[in-house]
Structure 1
Amino acid sequence: MMSMIQVENLTFSYPSGYDNIFENVSFQIDTNWKLGFIGRNGRGKTTFFNLLLGKYEYQGKIKSSVQFDYFPYVIADKNRLTEDILFEICPFAERWEIIRELSYLEVHEDVLLKLFSILSGGEQTKVLLAALFLNDGHFLLIDEPTNHLDAKARELVSAYLKNKKGFILVSHDRCFLDGCVDHILSINRSNIEVQKGNFSTWYTNFQQQQEFELAKNVKLKKDIAHMKQAAQQTKSWSDAVEKTKNGTRISGVKADKGYIGHKAAKMMQRAKNIEARKQRAIDEKSSLLKNLETAEDLKMKPLLYFRDTLASFSHVTPIFHGKDICQPISFEIKRGERIALDGKNGSGKTSILKLLMGQSIEFCGEFSIGSGLIVSYVPQDTSNLTGLLSDFAENNRIDESLFKAILRKMDFTRTQFGKNIEDFSSGQKKKVFIAKSLCEQAHLYVWDEPLNYIDIYSRMQIENLIKEFSPTMIFVEHDAVFRNTIATKEVQLYKK
């Protein structure tokens, strides 16, 4: 039987917020749909999930007959057997059902008898999803599950979700979305829309709408310019009338106040009415471009290294707790290359990047890096970000004006500049590190999963930037579209 989730005239803002996150939003969705949920960072995707979960008070109505579950499931004590945690999540499931779901995700049942805390991030994601989907009749709110999944795991989870129904999935990975959703829920600049199809279908329609809005924008700008000019002429006329009312000389003869006073007042009122009508028309025309998304071109200034080879790895194996992480790896970073490090989670990708950053990493083999090489780094972890953006710029010795200009191009509003970074969304925090890197002139750009939480528009913006300026890069990124678009070479790491 079909069940609907109905949202009517939803309005919400945080108590300390500057603006409404949602304003008179209405739409409805079928609980059998597989919904991809997309939108710019900071537009309110996680907030909407919290509203469905009843965590905040709001104006309007949300009607639903289903119970909502949230991923990632919050676990108070991770130092327990995985099996115990899963039965806490889905108390009515049989053990064989859990094992069946895990097999679909290529997770061996041995994990059930391990402490949850020692599972990899990818394993934790898979077992939690398996358990949550065993709650019959529940509707699952899945918030960015791909951030701990390598490329292979993303394919597996996407295929798993394709065979499920009844969920809303927040993800910015275009291939992942295409593989598992049948509807798109998009948060636009001024509304929320529901559309049938996968991400690619939605994006084709979105581009057509953008082209229409851009064409309309050209015409509206001309109309608005003409209206403003006419309004200014009207204002000049009303100012001239005001002067005659005050007895200003006209053609050398002082006007008689008593003669023109009454007539001037009527002319003045008429002028003001015309001016008000024209201003309303300007405002109305200006508001027509309600969902036009802009993504200005970004810029960077990479430095040219004086040698062809920037760094060299020969039979290098990172070591963790006395054990080799991966099989020995050999490669060079040549000037102009953009190298994608690929491999399963735990295969040593981040360790290789940290070696390039001069961090103390135990390894065997030979590693060398060019003298005087300037490196710019985007780390995977954003949890240490605190304070204002101005403090961050000063502490990192980057130009504050340029830094904030880049963030504006990446869809930051000016009000964000007055907030503490710890209050930013996860995607906005990641953009802080990317903007910092773009401010830095470097020979080599080392980016560790730069796109975690980053919205789709900004991903495309960054792809265009790298294609235009061709910096020398080495990066880890599991977004298949980004990797295929950007990388000139792939280096594969294999676990021991």
Structure 2
Amino acid sequence: MLSINNLSYHIGGRALYENASLHIKPKDKIGLVGQNGTGKSTLLKLIHGDYQPSQGEIQKSKDCTLGFLNQDLLSYQSEDSILDVALEAFKETLQLQEQIDKVLKQMETDHSEEIINRLAHLQERFEANEGYTIKSKAEEVLEGIGFSTEDLSRPLKTFSGGWRMRVMLAKLLLEKPSLLMLDEPTNHLDLPSIQWVENYLKNYEGAVIVVSHDQIFLDNCISTTVEVSRKTLTAYPGNYSFYKKEKEEREEIQQNAYENQQKMIKDTERFIERFRAKATKSNQVQSRVKALERMDRVDEVVSDEVAVNFRFKFSRKSGREVVGLEEVSKSYGDIKILENTSVRIERGDKIALIGANGKGKSTLLRIIDGSENIQGERHEGFNVIKSFFAQHQLEALNVNNEILQEMTQAGSAKTETELRNVLGCFLFSNDDVFKKIKVLSGGEKSRVALAKTLISEANFLLLDEPTNHLDMQSVNILIQALQQYEGTFITVSHDRHFIKGVANKIWYIEDHQIKEYLGSYEEYADWKTRQEEKEINSRATSSPAKKVKEKKSQVSRNDTEVQQAKKELKKLQREMELLEQKIMDLEIEKEELEGKLADPSIYENEQESAGLNEKYAKLKKEEDSLTKSWESLGEKIDGLQEMV
């Protein structure tokens, strides 16, 4: 269908591709991967014809049509509704509809056989093009990628860039080109929309080539991985996980071959050096010299993986409770976000807040931060030091600063060496640290802003879409850094690979309530699937009479029991607060005692040291007892919350 043969492409004096080749067949599902700057997006533009190769050729069959989603489409504006913009995918069918409308108008005064035959011919073509279903198809795709039914009539220009990009994606999907090319399609999609697009692409009739940093998205919708590296294209017959495993095995073989060759080269060079001056060995020496000159050298493997050893420093540890929300409500005019919902963040929680856009995830993050007005109560725990990362912080970077200068001004009191080590973890090495912020790409700015957040010595991080604009390597670095983080954090993200790597709790907003799942994302996804299956089975097997009975039973719940449960719940919550305060006081006392016991001079007085150790043991025993009571109270509270 499409062949890339011996492609070379140069930017200035730099070669991006040299003699690269790739063959794309009908129904191929290809993921294009590689580090930033290797030329993935450039390859799509070369295929589309936006750029011309320096050498080589790109050939496509006559019936091959191209559809290209790229970031340039963010600027597209229109007064038309998003439904009408999406319907532009059916250009020929819409033209037929216009012609049919004109003929029908003519038939008001012209009843000739010719005009009737023309109408019949046009209607036959219109039906062959499935013209009566194009509107429902457009609605299905638009709603699948996150638009509500009410949104469909709104003009495109009233939506933000990310939502406009979704409309462009919908239009491309409806056009069904032979080769669909998508450049970072998940950047502007929420989790339900990403999963919808995955399913759509898996069943797509044509070929697909996609550039994405979302590893799970690639795993779920591609069957071939093409790596862009060292100015060439290398195909792996499998999804992203297969590629990672296969690449590791190939690199192991290559590294062994390199080491064996290097040993042979050294042995040969020693022979040449040793016998160079001996006339009797001159033929053998010359033979070995020529052999070295003719030898095809095996390259040493240079790993793309970066191991991060990121040491976080806290000036103080937070109390057991970090932030609590009690009966919180939040609305924007008639749009209700939260209603009388309560939740608690405890020290050590690693929370991923997930779900569809428009549910209020970023709003909730600001509520937790304390920067959003609410109805209800928000209380912050003891010794909490916050640091908030959001995309607008990229704009807050001083564009005239160098990277190192920007980090120095973050106020962390770290030395230049320490800051360089941190920047090294985020792929800024050597002279990179002296680059001006204004020359950095979006991904590089994100890495700088994240690095500033992480050196803040905060014990509580709030991260809003931290993986946006990051490539795979940078996402993996962030995962490693957060895995080593000993504080508390909550992050909003649609990147499932990132969530799987860092979260021990999952939050989502449903029916204006904050819901919590205690476990990893994989466990949550498995649980969610089972719940949906149960709901489908329940709907399928439940009779109308049974539903009426269940509804009556639910309505007739004992109001007195509910009221009693509410009173008991408030009582237990007060007990919980008192208990937590006692535990925090004990922790402070324990820390003071630990400081004394860490002083070597205390052991010069055996009686005093024994007394302190005994006191410490008592405190620890008391803390354990209080913790058990706290856990027991928590279980009772959870049970009562389900009742009310």
TM-score, normalised with respect to structure 2: 0.61
**2:29–2:224: 8 Å Cα contact kept in structure 1?**
yes
| Mapped partners of 1:109, 1:320: distance in 2 | 20
1:28 offset after TM fit, Å? 2.7
Q: Unmatched 5+ residue regions in structure 2?
A: 95-130, 278-285, 513-644
**Mapping 1:407-486, distance limit 5 Å:** 407-412=423-428, 414=430, 416-417=432-433, 419-486=435-502
Pair 1:422–1:486, CA change in 2 (3 A)? same
CA distance in 1, matches of 2:29, 2:179: 10
**Which position in structure 2 is the counterpart of 1:337?**
349
Residue 81 of structure 2: aligned partner: 81
1:297-336 superposed matches below 5 A: 297-303=308-314, 305-321=317-333, 323-336=335-348
> Secondary structure of the equivalent of 2:461?
strand
Measure how far apart 1:483 and its partner are.
1.5
| Residue 200 of structure 1: aligned partner | 241
Which residue in 2 is equivalent to 1:353? 365
Q: Which residue of 2 aligns with 1:47?
A: 42
2 CA distance for matches of 1:300 and 1:401?
Answer: 13
Residue 145 in 1 paired to residue 163 in 2? no
AA aligned to 2:378 is: F
- Whether 1:393 aligns to 2:388 is no
Preserved contact between residue 403 and residue 436 of structure 1 (Cα < 8 Å): no
Supply the AA of the counterpart residue of 2:82: T
CA-CA distance at 1:230 after TM superposition: 6.2
Stretches of structure 1 lacking an aligned partner (at least 5 in a row): 239-262, 264-272
Tell me: CA distance 1:205–1:487, structure 2 relative to 1, closer, same or farther (3 Å): same
Cross-structure match for 1:92:
92
Q: 1:389 to 1:468 in 2, by over 3 A?
A: closer
Aligned to 1:377: 388
Structure 2 residue aligned with 1:293: 304
Give how far 1:301 is off.
Answer: 0.7
Residue 300 of structure 1 contacts residue 439 of structure 1 at CA under 8 Å; is this kept in 2? no
Paired residue secondary structure (1:28): strand
Alpha-carbon displacement from aligned partner over 1:425-470 (angstroms, at most 9, x marks no partner): 4333322222223333221122111112322333334333333444
Q: Does 1:129 pair with 2:169?
A: yes
| Offset at residue 142 of structure 1 (A) | 0.9
Q: 179, 183, 198: which one pairs with 2:220?
A: 179
Which residue pairs with 1:255 in the alignment? none
Q: Secondary structure at the match of 2:174?
A: coil
CA contact 2:318–2:384 (8 Å) conserved in 1: no
> Is the partner of 1:83 in helix, strand or coil?
helix
Query: Partner of 1:169: helix, strand, or coil?
Result: strand
Q: 2 CA distance for matches of 1:223 and 1:364?
A: 75
> Which one scores higher on RCO, CA 8 angstroms, separation ≥ 6?
1
Paired residue for 2:503? 487
Q: Contact (CA 8 Å) 2:219, 2:239: kept in 1 or not?
A: yes
8 Å contact kept, 1:67–1:138 = yes
Please identify runs of 4+ aligned residues in structure 1 that moved more than 6 A. 220-224, 227-231, 276-281
2:69 counterpart residue number: 71
Q: Which amino acid aligns with 1:486?
A: V
Distance, in Å, in 2 between the alignment partners of 1:166 and 1:212 is: 32
Q: Distance in 1 between matches of 2:450 and 2:4?
A: 38
What CA distance in whole angstroms lies between the structure 1 residues aligned with 2:452 and 2:290? 46
What's the CA shift for 1:120? 7.2
Q: Which residue of 2 aligns with 1:59?
A: 54
Q: Secondary structure at the match of 1:92?
A: helix
Is the 8 Å Cα contact of residues 143 and 171 (structure 1) preserved in structure 2?
Answer: yes
**Residue aligning to 1:12:** 10
CA apart distance, 1:155: 1.0
Q: Report the alpha carbon displacement of residue 59 of structure 1 after superposing the two structures with TM.
A: 1.3
**Structure-2 residue corresponding to 1:258:** none
Q: Go from structure 1 to structure 2 and tell me whether the alpha carbon gap of 1:312 and 1:150 turns closer, same or farther (over 3 Å shift).
A: same
Change (3 A) 1:58 1:410: farther
1:139-169: per-residue Cα shift (whole Å, max 9, x none)?
3221112122222221111101111132211
Per-residue CA distance 1:177-200 (angstroms, 9 max, x = gap): 122112112223453212222222
- 55-64 vs 401-410, which moves further: 401-410
**Paired residues of 1:342 and 1:349 also in contact (CA < 8 A):** yes
* Aligned partner of residue 498 in structure 2, secondary structure: helix
Q: Which amino acid in the other structure matches residue 460 of structure 1?
A: N
Counterparts of residues 256-271 of structure 1 (less than 5 Å)? none
Structure 1 contact 343–494 (Cα < 8 Å) conserved: no
**1:192 is matched by which residue type in structure 2?**
L
- The residue type paired with residue 70 of structure 1 is F
Q: Which residue of 1 aligns with 2:636?
A: none
Aligned length: 457
1:156 alignment counterpart: 196
Which whole-Å CA distance do the structure 1 matches of 2:4 and 2:487 have between them?
A: 48
Give the CA deviation at 1:490: 1.6
Contact 1:158–1:180, Cα closer than 8 Å, also in 2: yes
Cα offset, 1:214, TM superposition? 5.0
Q: Does 1:25 align with 2:20?
A: yes
1: CA distance, partners of 2:462 / 2:292:
51
Q: Is the 8 A contact 1:145 1:171 kept in 2?
A: yes
Residue 254 (structure 1) aligns with: none
Q: State how far apart, in whole Å, the 2-side matches of 1:137 and 1:353 are.
A: 40
CA contact (8 A) 2:5 2:57 kept: yes
Task: Provide TM-score, normalisation by structure 1.
Answer: 0.78
Specify which structure has the higher proportion of helix: 2
Aligned residues with identical type, % of pairs: 24
Structure 1, residues 288-313: CA drift from partner, whole Å, max 9, x if none?
Answer: 12563231223131525241111112
The AA in structure 2 aligned to 1:166 is A
In 2: Cα distance, 1:314 partner to 1:80 partner: 44
Whether the aligned pair in 2 keeps the contact of 1:210 and 1:293 (CA below 8 Å) is no
CA contact (8 A) 1:344 1:495 kept: no
Partner amino acid, structure 2, of 1:77: Q
The separation in 2 between residues aligned to 1:401 and 1:193, in whole angstroms, is 39
Q: Deviations over 1:246-269 (max 9, x none)?
A: xxxxxxxxxxxxxxxxx9xxxxxx
SS in 1 for 2:510: coil
2: CA distance, partners of 1:200 / 1:10: 29
C-alpha distance in 1 between matches for 2:262 and 2:305: 16
The amino acid that maps onto 2:388 is Y
